[in-house]
Amino acid sequence: MADIRNVKARFLNARLTSKLSIVLFGLVLVFSAKAQGGPPPGGDHGGGGGPMGGIGLPLGFLQQDKDYKFPDDITKYTANDFLMLVRRTDIRSSFYNSDMSATISMVSVSPDRGTFANKEQIFRRDKDDAFLMLMVEPESRKGQGMLRVDNNMWRYDPTSRKFTHTTLKDTYENSTVTNNDFRRWQRSIDYSVEKLSTGTLGNYKVIIGELKANNDEVPFPYLKMYIEADRKIVLKVEEYSLSMKLLRTAYYTQYVQIGDSFVPTVQIFQDGLIPEKRSQVTYTDISTKPLPDYYFTKEYLERVSQ
């Protein structure tokens, strides 16, 4: 009898604990809903259906940029002009009227680790803020990938067949490149202008803006951007720590222009701490052919993996 009583007491205990767990779980959900609640994405009509609906840019972002009149003389740029120039480069790196796909080669050279080469395919649908990356080489990692739509981001491990969430701040492949480098740039939102000057980079006259982050979500608190004013493309970016230590320099040495969009197809990253360490990202092919909807699903990521 004593055993039966013990068993019953155990079940009663389990039931009470179950109810307590349900209450706790409900509280978590309520807090979750509150934490994530907020106004709908921006847009003239209050909804999120516009071309930029997916990434929650400030109201009138596109319209303000489209009508903005830049000074003819690069020495007359103000801080606000430069911020609008950065916005223009952000927008022009995107494809809002078509999908985009490309194959990307990345080669990293390290004095201690030697030379590593990766190759990936990327698929973008910027109007939905959707991005899919699939590892193609090395063969041992083929099929690993990442899917991001809005703020939902998954990584897939084909060995365990498991999807996991990750963040855009992660360093990409233990290199000086971060996942954020593959996202549409939003530096015009994340940084404010501290100082402006002009100069030249090779054959090109550039405006040099020194920027300071206005939030701590970005990987680098300070940036120094070199932008060619004529075509409004970024040629060089220096990235600094809070103590103004140069951590990385990015060079955008080749672009392709498709319609109004500019894609930096050769990007060279020089490590600031290890002078002999650098990497190069090269687009080996590119297309704006429409992509099937199922490309931007977890199922596709799982299917094309090993």
Partner 1 sequence: MRTRNMRGLGPVAAIALFALGVGNLWAQTSTTSTSTMPPAVIDENSLFGGPNDIVTVIDENTASAGTVQLVKDTKTYPVFLISGTAGAGLYGNYTPVGATFSSGQELYGAVNLSGLEFDYLPTKNLHFSVSSDLLAVPNDILAASVTAYADLRQSDLVRLYAAGSFNYDPSSYLSTKAYDSGTFSLDELFVDTQINEKVFFRLGKQRISWGVGYWYKPSDVLSLSAIDPDDPTAAREGPFAFKIDMPMKLNHLMVYMVPPVSGLADSSSMAAKYDLVVNGWELSFAGYGRADLEARPRAIFTFTGAIGAFDVYGENVLLYGSDRTYVRESSTTPGTYETYSVEDAPFFQSTLGLKYSVSKSSGFSFSAHLQGYYNGTGYADATILQIPDARTAVKNSTTNTAKQTNDLTQTGQWYLAGSTSVSGRFGEGRNLTQVTGSVYALANFSDGSMRFNPQFEVAIGDQGGRATLTLSDLTAIGAENSEYAPKGNKTTPALTLGMLNDAFALQVSAPILLDTDFSVKKVQTAFSVFWNAIQFD
* Site for partner 1, residues 162 to 181, rule: CB under 8 A: 162-163, 165, 167, 169, 174
- Asked if residues 136 and 121 have their Cβ atoms less than 8 Å apart, the reply is yes
Instruction: CB nearer to partner 1: give 67 or 114.
Output: 114
| Binders in 129-168 for partner 1, by CB under 8 A | 138-140, 142, 149-152, 157, 159-163, 165, 167
Which uninterrupted H or E stretch holds 251? strand 246-258
What is the C-alpha to C-alpha distance for residues 179 and 281, in angstroms, rounded to an integer? 13
Token pair listed for 13: 């205990």
- Segment near partner 1 (CB under 8 A); pick from 25-33, 44-52, 68-76, 84-92: 25-33
CA atoms within 13 A on the CB side of 144: 13
- In the block, tokens 């193609």 appear at 136
Instruction: CB nearer to partner 1: give 21 or 214.
Output: 21
Instruction: CB nearer to partner 1: give 76 or 161.
Output: 161
Among 65, 70, 110, 196, binds partner 1 (CB under 8 A): 110
What is the C-alpha to C-alpha distance for residues 130 and 120, in angstroms, rounded to an integer? 16
- Asked if residues 212 and 224 have their Cβ atoms less than 8 Å apart, the reply is no
CB-based contacts of 204, cutoff 8 Å, min separation 6: 228, 235
What is the C-alpha to C-alpha distance for residues 125 and 53, in angstroms, rounded to an integer? 13
Number of residues lying near partner 1 (CB under 8 A): 114
Among 187, 240, 250, 291, binds partner 1 (CB under 8 A): 240
CB of 229 to partner 1, least distance (A): 14
CB of 160 to partner 1, least distance (A): 5
Among 14, 46, 49, 214, binds partner 1 (CB under 8 A): 14
Instruction: CB nearer to partner 1: give 78 or 276.
Output: 276
Under the criterion CB under 8 A, does residue 77 sit at the interface with partner 1? no
Strands (E) in the chain, as ranges, are: 100-110, 114-125, 130-137, 145-149, 152-157, 162-165, 191-201, 204-213, 222-228, 233-240, 246-258, 261-271, 278-287
Q: Residue 60: count other Cβ atoms within 10 Å of its Cβ.
A: 13
Among 111, 194, 195, 214, binds partner 1 (CB under 8 A): 111
SS3 16: helix
- Segment near partner 1 (CB under 8 A); pick from 62-70, 79-87, 184-192, 257-265: 257-265
Among 48, 65, 70, 105, binds partner 1 (CB under 8 A): 105
| Binders in 263-292 for partner 1, by CB under 8 A | 265, 268-270, 273-275, 277-280, 282-290, 292
CB of 64 to partner 1, least distance (A): 25
- Segment near partner 1 (CB under 8 A); pick from 54-62, 63-71, 183-191, 199-207: 199-207
Under the criterion CB under 8 A, does residue 256 sit at the interface with partner 1? yes
* Cα–Cα distances in angstroms (integers) from residue 191 to residues 40, 194, 298, in the given order: 23, 9, 33
- Segment near partner 1 (CB under 8 A); pick from 8-16, 42-50, 65-73, 183-191: 8-16
- In the block, tokens 């009583």 appear at 5
CA of residue 128 relative to chain centroid, distance:
14
